[in-house]
Amino acid sequence: MDEFGAYGQRLGDRFRLTEARSIVTRILKKAELAVTEIRGDASNEHRLSEPIPKEDAYLIGVQLQNHPEHQYWEDGRQTKVVDLRAGETLLYDLKRNPVVLLDKPFHSLHFYLSRAALLEIADEAEAPPIGELNYSPGMGVEDPTMVSLARAMQAVLERPEQVSRVFVDHVNMAFAAHVAHAYGGMARRSLPSRGGLASWQQTRAREILESKLDGSIALKDLARECGLSVSHFARAFRHSTGLSPHQWLLERRIEKAKELLKQGDMPLSDVALTSGFSDQSHFTRVFGSRVGVPPGIWKRNFGAG
């Protein structure tokens, strides 16, 4: 973790939390992306959050519960008091000393996005540099995309051992690109299709994913092996396979599990680990959701077609 950056326990300390669950990735070359869960109950208190050290970065917060009479200050000036609803998104400019009143239960997910990350995203998109993000201080907005990303990352924070790095990288890349477009004004370009991966790139990517069914490979490492930027690789991989790298990995895990189940002599717990799942319960849940029946039933019925 870098010395600076409003994420993880450093952010949790601003709210006097003893624990702040977080996920940090370095999918970009020059900047970290991070997600931190902020959850506490200040019903018996009436105090401001601790100031966050100033930096050229933003927090994009998604409310996970209602927060009535939200009181917020930027640069010492209080904004309009509003009722925040679960699912609303707020932006915080860390150059402007954002603080909130802690006087009731709070629960939110905060995505960290630095200026360096915004510049790199624009550069990869061959777009002009992104200036200040557009937002109304202290006001929540409806942003279904951010809500979907927050739900995905909340599941990651609850069961990090069951989630692949490829998936985390994929969600973080989607978050950063969405913010750049929706709040930074980065135009969505209508580019001529650059096609999919070359045959050698597709073979190499599949070989690496096959050897790392547990998902311990980072998306940026896959892209580097193919000589591409992360965004170009993700787009080309989907063009070639019809799936994101994470989706392809899940499909291959299921295929591998079916191959092992057909053999009939391996315990389900071993099938789970060999197929890249963290444990048997994770395996059973994913297999059942994608195949329609639990692996034990599939194994018993396979011979009968």
Q: Please, are residues 104 and 47 in contact by the beta-carbon 8 Å criterion?
A: no
Question: CA 132 to CA 148: how far, in whole Å?
Answer: 24
**DSSP tag of 59:** E
Other beta carbons less than 10 A from residue 271's beta carbon: 22
42-58, pLDDT tens digit by residue?
998 899 999 999 999 99
Q: What is the pLDDT of residues 259-278, one digit of tens each?
A: 888 887 788 888 888 888 88
pLDDT for 189 equals 54
pLDDT-derived band at 219 (thresholds 50, 70, 90) equals confident
Share of the chain above pLDDT 70, in %: 95
User: For residue 227, what are the CA distances in angstroms to 204, 215, 268?
Assistant: 11, 20, 38
Domains (ranges, CATH) in the chain? 9-182 (2.60.120.10), 199-242 (1.10.10), 247-304 (1.10.10.60)
pLDDT score for 29 = 80
Q: Please determine, for residue 188, whether its predicted confidence score (pLDDT) is greater than 70.
A: no
Computed over every residue of the chain, the mean pLDDT equals: 88
C-alpha closest to that of 82 among 66, 98, 100, 70: 70
pLDDT-based confidence at residue 113 (cuts at 50, 70, 90): very high
Residue 191 has pLDDT above 70, yes or no: no
- Predicted TM-score (pTM) of this structure: 0.75
Mean pLDDT computed over 12-22? 94
Phi, psi of 171 (to 5 degrees): -65, -45
Task: Identify the band that residue 2 occupies on the pLDDT scale cut at 50, 70 and 90.
Answer: very low
**Cα angle 4-74-15, degrees, rounded to a multiple of 5:** 55
The Cα 119–Cα 128 span in angstroms is: 9
Element (H, E) at 224: helix 219-225
pLDDT given for residue 194 in this prediction: 59
